[in-house]
Structure 1
Amino acid sequence: MATPVAVEPADVDTALGDLQTHLNLIFARTRTLWKESAARIDPELQVGGYKLLTFIERAESANAHELAERFEMDKSVISRQVRMLEELGLIESRPDERDGRLRVLTPTPAACTVLAELRRDHASRLRTIVAELTQDEIQAASKVFRLLAEV
């Protein structure tokens, strides 16, 4: 049985510094990817609208109150983005059956189609990027991201 090797605190600090640097690069790349994805859907679609659209599509429906809470955005910002998504034909709005004061937002078939295409493209890019990793390495990375997301 192998004896565990003691890790020096300085080594851990260096490794954590590297992790933070790379996370910052991932966040910057993610913002760029959101911007590119929004522009592929429509040149006028803003990143905030893209993020709302992807949430609505994955949830299958949402209302403005849920979106404001989820994304910590002011309701007026949500309202403008929802209006833009409706004008672009990406979402539909109907009264909530349980509470007529609320509007239920659902993705249009066109939005579902374009988002599925974007997801396929993103998955293909990710497969190319991680092609040199083993399944165990991918699972370890996934675990790290899951733990970070739970903080």
Structure 2
Amino acid sequence: MNAKPGTGSAEVVASAAAAPSDVDSALGDLQAHLNLIFARTRSLWRESAARVHPELQVGGYKLLTFIDRAGTANAHELAERFEMDKSVISRQVRMLEDLGLLESRADERDGRLRVLSATASACSALAEVRRDYGSRLQAVIDELTPEEIRAASKAFRLLAEV
């Protein structure tokens, strides 16, 4: 590092020493806030699952929301997407069917496969949960400038690539 004219080497060393501590502090803050986001997400999953059906577990809720957004899915796709054993998927699918949230039919192209789709009542409950959460999220985003939104989006994109 080159010292500016008129600055002593002690000032340059002090300035260089401050930078890593600022970065460490900022990284610590980022990690703490990410932990809060993850904890809040887990809490929202529990709350949302209970709103869809009082007996719905978080794992089943995640599968159901995926199926709802995809339109249909099969157990193989779910096992691959969620990196879960097929036996776990099978138990979750059975539970979702028992709760009246999921329907299963034979695949027209391959009768060995079952096509899974969310029931009308599940779709309706999920849409309501999404609307409510969307309103809460919009209230937060309304407080941000477009530049702040772009910066947050960039940060999340880069973190997702880690």
TM-score normalised by length of structure 2: 0.84
Q: Report what 2:13 is aligned to.
A: none
The DSSP-based 3-state class of the residue aligned with 1:132 is: coil
In 2: Cα distance, 1:68 partner to 1:129 partner = 34
Determine which of 92, 101, 105 is the counterpart of 2:116.
105
Measure how far apart 1:44 and its partner are.
Answer: 0.5
Moved more, 135-144 or 32-41: 135-144
Listed one character per residue, the Cα deviations across residues 30-84 of structure 1 (whole Å, up to 9, x for unaligned) are 0000000000111100000000000001111111111111111121211111011
Measure how far apart 1:146 and its partner are.
Answer: 2.0
Identity rate of aligned residues, in percent? 77
The DSSP-based 3-state class of the residue aligned with 1:115 is: helix
CA RMSD after TM alignment: 1.6
Mind listing any 5+ residue stretches in structure 1 that lack a counterpart? 1-5
The runs of at least 4 consecutive aligned structure 1 residues that moved more than 3 Å come to none
1:77 and 2:100 matched: no
Q: Report what 1:20 is aligned to.
A: 31
Kindly provide the amino acid, as one letter, of the partner of residue 75 in structure 1. Answer: K
Give the paired residue count.
146
The DSSP-based 3-state class of the residue aligned with 1:104 is: strand
Measure how far apart 1:111 and its partner are.
Answer: 1.4
If you compute each CA radius of gyration, which structure gives the higher value, 1 or 2? Answer: 2
In 1: Cα distance, 2:108 partner to 2:144 partner = 49
Mind listing any 5+ residue stretches in structure 2 that lack a counterpart? 1-15
